[in-house]
Amino acid sequence: MSPTVSSPQTRKLAPVDLAAERAFLGSALPEAVLRVLDSGRFVLGPEVEALERAFAERCRCRAAFGVASGTDALVLGLLALGVKPGDRVLTSPFTFFATAEAIAWIGAMPCFADVEEHSGLLDVEKVEAALDDSIRCLLPVHLYGQMADMRALRALADEHGFSLLEDGAQAHGAERDGIATGELGDACTFSFYPTKNLGAAGEGGLVVTRDQAVADRLAGLRDHGSRTKYRHDFIGTNSRLHALQAAVLNVKLPHLDAWNDARRANAARYDEGLGDLESIRPMAALPGATHVYHQYTIRVLGEGRRDRLQEALAAEGIHAAVHYPIPLHLQPAAEAFGYREGDLPVAERLAGEVLCLPVHPFLTEEDVERIVDAIRRLA
Ligand SMILES: Cc1ncc(COP(=O)(O)O)c(C=O)c1O
């Protein structure tokens, strides 16, 4: 990928480089936007349908529905699976807040199982231990671009009879053991927030499903409960993906696999350059996983050391981010969920240790070398 032009040692290195992406795509983006403007088809229509077809195919699913955001995708996904006010939904405490927020937004109750220290993904044994008859749905998160253990979670869902919604907001194009996102869940949601591996020029989201009944509900839920004009079968909302955003996404989608390859190449360079450091543990890429590295994350061991390293890198123009500094069960907004410090120790520890390094596809080899050298000096 061609980098933005500036001297390699002074160039600011950030989690995303949207200017480089814009330059790489050239006239294709404005042409697509103009096509939509000239067509006058702004709400759903052919661009949205083309994106939905492509996503359904990639996820080996029956149908896909473009919606207003990744958060709405979760809200509508939960409703489409029949989650009701008062139901308990088991999810990860180590994710972006929207995952639990969507559950609470529809009046259901989020509950949490702890995550694996080496991957940050839901720990299947802890999930099993946390299960009881009140759990209505399980909501695993494909954190940082790596899928949760969907085979094991599907088996648990079948055994206990609850539904399975995947949060794939960070995992466009990921697979695990040959299974695609959405292939084993009852539905899988995506976000097209601009910093995602596939990002819109604004907000956007999408839900895929293998299940015809779930598809029928999603079609209505995002469009006022209506599948036939002016006939409203149930209460829905207005959460339709905008055609302009779909057009932008359709320009980018053919590049997604190459961009994910470039992320993996950057990740391999980091693994090699940092693997021997005492105080640094790269988060694991699991056997059988096709990791798409929405984030490349290291753990920085030692009290306060992560924050000091983050500051020292920033002073050299390297912006590393913390996803996430507070686990969901300890968020001020989560008080009503009934958890206390110490309840989910692995997520709590990771929140103090993780640091996400720039890994986007427009970094050069020299950029990654510069970051590796800086960490080796400063960690
Ligand atoms: C894991 C996860 N879930 C849900 C969301 C919410 O997506 P959006 O920002 O598109 O509403 C995000 C995005 O930030 C996310 O990372």
* pLDDT at residue 149 greater than cutoff 80: yes
Domain segments of the chain as ranges: 24-253, 255-378
What Rg value do the Cα atoms of the chain yield, rounded?
Answer: 21
Q: Given this chain, do its domains 24-253 and 255-378 carry the same CATH topology?
A: no
Tell whether the torsion through CA atoms of 253, 254, 256 and 259 is positive or negative.
Answer: negative
Residue 319: pLDDT band with limits 50, 70, 90: very high
* pLDDT at residue 2 greater than cutoff 60: no
Instruction: Please state whether the predicted TM-score (pTM) of the whole model is above 0.85.
Output: yes
CA of 168 to the centre of ligand 1 (A): 9
Q: What is the pLDDT of residues 221-273, one digit of tens each?
A: 999 999 898 999 999 999 999 999 999 999 999 999 999 999 999 999 999 99
Residue 310: pLDDT band with limits 50, 70, 90: very high
Q: CB atoms < 10 A from the CB of 361, how many?
A: 23
| Cis peptide bond prior to 324, omega within 30° of 0 | yes
Q: Is 69 in the pocket of ligand 1 (CB under 6 A)?
A: yes
* pLDDT at residue 202 greater than cutoff 80: yes
Check if the beta carbon of residue 12 is closer than 8 Å to that of residue 319. yes
Q: CB atoms < 10 A from the CB of 307, how many?
A: 14
Residue-by-residue DSSP string for 200-233:
-SS--EEEEES-HHHHHHHHHHTBTT-SBTTB--
Give me the chain's average pLDDT, please.
Answer: 96
Tell whether the torsion through CA atoms of 248, 221, 329 and 190 is positive or negative.
Answer: negative
What CATH number belongs to 255-378?
Answer: 3.90.1150.10
Pocket test of ligand 1: the residue of 16, 71, 222, 242 to mutate, having most ligand atoms within 8 Å of its CB, is: 71
CA of 310 to the centre of ligand 1 (A): 23
Check if the beta carbon of residue 266 is closer than 8 Å to that of residue 285. no
CA of 98 to the centre of ligand 1 (A): 6
Given the structure tokens 């990654």, which residue do they identify? 368
CA of 196 to the centre of ligand 1 (A): 9
CA of 370 to the centre of ligand 1 (A): 30
- C-alpha 124/C-alpha 153 separation (Å) is 7
Q: What is the mean pLDDT of residues 36-61?
A: 97
Residue 369: pLDDT band with limits 50, 70, 90: very high
Q: Which residues pair with 115 in a beta bridge?
A: 122
C-alpha count within 13 angstroms, C-beta hemisphere, residue 229: 0
CA of 169 to the centre of ligand 1 (A): 5
Residue closest via CA to ligand 1's atom 10 equals: 70
- C-alpha 337/C-alpha 354 separation (Å) is 24
Q: CB atoms < 10 A from the CB of 37, how many?
A: 13
Q: Is 141 in the pocket of ligand 1 (CB under 6 A)?
A: yes
Q: CB atoms < 10 A from the CB of 42, how many?
A: 13
Q: Is 209 in the pocket of ligand 1 (CB under 6 A)?
A: no
Tell which CATH architecture fits domain 24-253: 3-Layer(aba) Sandwich (3.40)
- Nearest by Cα to 178 from 158, 155, 150, 157: 150
User: Which tokens belong to 109?
Assistant: 């109750």
Q: What is the pLDDT of residues 88-125, one digit of tens each?
A: 999 999 999 999 999 999 999 999 999 999 999 999 99
**Ligand 1: nearest atom to the Cα of 205:** 10
**What per-residue confidence (pLDDT) applies to 1?**
54
Q: What is the pLDDT of residues 62-97, one digit of tens each?
A: 999 999 999 999 999 999 999 999 999 999 999 999
* pLDDT at residue 3 greater than cutoff 60: no
